[in-house]
Amino acid sequence: DQQVKQNSPSLSVQEGRISILNCDYTNSMFDYFLWYKKYPAEGPTFLISISSIKDKNEDGRFTVFLNKSAKHLSLHIVPSQPGDSAVYFCAASDTGNQFYFGTGTSLTVIP
């Protein structure tokens, strides 16, 4: 049973535009969320996190929004760059020990 879902397997965006990646979760006990970026043949790389006491966290071009009532989070990348092309995973945790990952969204930024 998938507790974290990324319903869009792929997304294409023009360079300079906004990329919005979405993630939904089912477990209301999740209180810490992370986004990871993964290039082929490499392990995931941490991007940005948010705890449930916040609804927004920003780091440079990356902003994560959390809507607890909707059990939804999103990652905004503005402006998108070709180097952002990768697979993006969201992950959630209720204990800090066990993280549940989504299936990933493959982002392609078109120059």
Partner 1 sequence: GAGVSQSPRYKVAKRGQDVALRCDPISGHVSLFWYQQALGQGPEFLTYFQNEAQLDKSGLPSDRFFAERPEGSVSTLKIQRTQQEDSAVYLCASSLLGGIGEQYFGPGTRLTVT
Residues that bind partner 1 (CB under 8 A): 4, 6, 32, 34, 36, 41-46, 49, 51, 89, 91, 93, 95-104
Please state, in angstroms and rounded to a whole number, the distance separating the CA atoms of residues 87 and 12.
12
Q: Closer to partner 1 at the Cβ: 53 or 111? A: 53
Q: Cβ(90)–Cβ(7) under 8 Å?
A: no
Q: Is 61 left (phi over 0), alpha (psi -120 to 50) or beta?
A: alpha
Least CB distance to partner 1 at residue 100 (A): 7
* 30 vs 63 by CB, closer to partner 1: 30
Smallest separation (angstroms) from partner 1 to the CB of 44: 5
| Distance from chain centroid for Cα 28 | 18
Q: How far is the CB of 82 from partner 1 (least distance, A)?
A: 23
Q: Residue 69 or 97: which CB sits closer to partner 1?
A: 97
* Residues with Cβ within 8 Å of residue 95, at least 6 apart in sequence: none
Least CB distance from residue 7 to partner 1, whole Å? 13
Closer to partner 1 at the Cβ: 14 or 28? 28
All residues at 6 or more sequence positions from 99 whose CB lies less than 8 Å from its CB, including other chains? 34, 91, 92, 93
